[in-house]
Chains A and B, each alone.
Chain A
Amino acid sequence: MTKVTLIQAGGTGAPGPKPEHPPSLYEKRNQIYPKLAHGKFRAFKWLVMAVTLGIYYAIPWIRWPRGENIPDQAVLADFEGEKFYFFFLEIWPQEIYFLGGLIILAALALFLVTSLFGRVWCGYTCPQTVWTDLYIWVERAFEGDRAARMRLDHAPMNFNKAWRKTGKHIVWLLIAFLTGGAFILYWHDAPTIARTFFTGEAPLTAYFFAGVLTFTTYALAGTMREQVCTYLCPWPRIQGALTDEHALNVTYRYDRGEPRAPHRKGESWDGRGDCIDCKQCVQVCPMGIDIRDGAQLECIHCALCIDACDDIMKKVDRPTGLIAYDTDVAVAARACGEKPRYKLFRVRTALYAILIAAISLLMLWGYTTKSTYEFNVLKDRSPPFIRLSDGSVRNGYTLKLVNKATNLRTVDISVEGLPEASFEIIGLGTAPDNGTLQLTTQAHGVDRYRLLVTARPEDLPSRTTLRVQIRDTATGEIAEADAPFTTGDQ
């Protein structure tokens, strides 16, 4: 320890002592060797790992028949076809706000969970946690548990160390490649890309992203680990604002544990805390911290220290739960000899829940009532209007018809707003007086037609609003769009 002396400024005018070395802001990383924990949280974490990894690897293979010439992959971000598929959901580019809504929902869900149970996302389901856990499992398989790994790292290079390290990195790389490889399955037809990837026919982006994800998985889960959470991830900082004294966090119950001291079998527990300072909680911690220092930014709340401590408490015959999911308020209350009170229902949790429900309903309503047509009428900008030889005026428009349904549909097109006008669609001819034109829209696609509207300009203002309507002859569904009709430059 360096002794720090404060010198009062001013007065004598004597200069203060010069530091011999400038202080370094760089902190060297200490290798962490997490010990394997045993207990209910460890078991639960294995289960969560199996489920999340299972979901990640299996989902692209699920088929979901939608119709002819439409991808049958349940979850697919189809860039070529400009569509996003999620089971029964189908999102077109012009409906991208649904994805925005999903992201807002995900954020709010995270807020709610954090205000209730603290950083459970970090501790159980964050990909960084899951893959790091998997990598440590591989590491343990090759190099043994904490003590063996420490010994191996300090041992000089020999055949034993070489093959264990090599084997570990090979398996790590394999997992990394499977991770990166599975990622691209979400962007292409999975069976196809799984084949073409190895025959060299896959698009360059597929190789690029598989490579990037392979690298990041290997680097982040294999070598960077806790540094990602502490230094790279913004989430711990955000969580600092979301969690509060009523949130259930992995907490060391200092009211029960202090004063801590080593304990020999047979000694009295009077006048001391239950913590025997065995440091098992520190040894199992994948972040290399001491939970007894209280809530801290590095802690991902994985609850493995709870397992480790419970093990020890059983051995020394004290009640378990010295480290447990608890709230700051409750621990403080107990420390003052009061009865702890838990408040899961608070203004913020209620607010989050209401917002989630409201946005879900809004999106559900939006999705179920959305039109199966997207219909636009785009007026020609050049020329803005055309005078014909008989003195009448014609305007040209582009009709853009998006049929989101998976079947061919026949629609009637009519133009309203100009009673005396006649209209024609290139390729379909002129509509009978005040009548309609009929056309068949392709299934699940976009059609473009040119519409020409002609009217006598004498009785018209320079600008009139036209309403073009399409009506599905089978279902009666109607879509409308407005466009101006101009007769002059003004």
Chain B
Amino acid sequence: MTDQKRDIDEVSGVETTGHTWDGIKELNNPLPRWWLYVFYASIVWAIGYMIFMPAIPALPGTGMTNTLGLRGHSDRAVVAEQVQALHTERAAAAGRLVTASLSEIETDMSLQQFALAMGESAFGDNCATCHGAGGRGAKGYPMLADDIWLWDGTLDGIEYTLRHGIRHMDDPDTRLSSMPAFGRDGLLTPREIDDLVHYVVDLSGREADQAAVNRAAPIYATQCVSCHGADGKGNRQLGAPDLTDHEWLFGGEPRDIQQTIYSARNAHMPAWQGRLDDPTIKALAVYVHSLGGGEK
């Protein structure tokens, strides 16, 4: 096959490469010229691009993450610029929003629409991870769209929670309370806890063993009443949940309640002050307030 004379194909008159597969010879046609020119042009383009745009990463010894190029272009700077432009554009409405009261927001339709749009998008980015889309909640993460609140359902109360978090120990103003782990810390015996479970089930209007309920009554009166109240309606000052309704943050089955009393549940929410700017926090408060449970 090699070192032969040029093999010219009879039909086309084109030189072959000398390769033959199943009797079919490969013609040695040159690359199309247009293709070659495009190829050369892209080489020229690439050289120009490397000179003008950031191109070569991590040059050792220079301390730079990459070459900057003559244009000094940076996608990061472009994004920062766009974010800044967005803040500038929003500045007027955002400024009004931060200081507006609930009634002002409710009467000013354009301000309300602004706050809801901003709040909805911020909620999706920051809150929906735990609280779910639309504030639907999950076990351990309160539903935000109903009318049941652990701490405060007013616009200011929601904003306070957002700013300072719940049991967020880095923030001195955080909403703080802590239920003792009655079982784990040996404050109550397992039997007393079992009786208390019956008592709580009875409080929420379900069928319970009345003998156990009666046994538990004095325990409830000494151990639980200071936070959850004599009637079990809870205390928002302390974030103590209402035990008489159907809503159970950590589950309402006797097993769940037993677990709660034994080892206590103290959920956390981070403080968003400093992580989100003031207009965003206010917009989030307006949005959560609008989900349906907002109180006056």
Contact = CB atoms under 8 A, between A and B. Distances in A.
Given A22-B12, A427-B106, A427-B109, A382 B134 contact: yes
A427 B109 CA distance: 8
Q: Is the interface of A mostly helix, strand, loop or mixed?
A: loop
Interface string A274-297: 000000000000000000000000
Interface in B218-272: 242, 245-247
A310 B76 CA distance: 72
Interface stretch (B17-25, B145-153, B174-182, B186-194): B145-153
Interface in A7-28: 18, 21-22
B106 A383 contact: no
B112 A387 contact: no
B63 to A, nearest CB: 36
Contact of B147 (A21, A388, A396, A448): A388
Contacts of A383: 132, 134-137, 143, 145
A21 B245 CA distance: 95
A389 B133 contact: no
Interface string A385-426: 011110100101000000000000000000000000000001
A466 interface: no
A22 B29 CA distance: 15
B128 to A, nearest CB: 9
A396 B291 contact: yes
B113 A386 contact: no
Contacts of B12: 22
Given A389-B147, A391-B246, A396 B11 contact: no
B71 to A, nearest CB: 18
A413 to B, nearest CB: 15
Interface string A155-166: 000000000000
A387 B148 CA distance: 10
Interface string B64-97: 0000000000000000000000000000000000
A389 B146 contact: yes
A450 B290 contact: yes
A22 B143 contact: no
B249 to A, nearest CB: 14
A452 interface: yes
A426 B245 CA distance: 25
Interface in B123-148: 132-137, 143, 145-148
A386 B292 CA distance: 9
A222 B97 CA distance: 60
B168 to A, nearest CB: 26
Nearest to B105: A427
Nearest to A391: B246
Nearest to B242: A389
Interface string A356-388: 000000000000000000000000111100111
A396 B145 contact: yes
A384 B107 CA distance: 28
30 contacts: A18-B11, A21-B13, A381-B133, A382-B132, A382-B133, A382-B134, A383-B134, A383-B135, A383-B136, A383-B143, A383-B145, A386-B146, A386-B292, A387-B146, A387-B246, A388-B146, A389-B148, A389-B242, A389-B247, A391-B246, A394-B146, A394-B292, A396-B145, A396-B291, A396-B292, A426-B290, A427-B109, A448-B113, A450-B116, A452-B292
Interface of A: 18, 21-22, 380-383, 386-389, 391, 394, 396, 426-427, 448, 450, 452
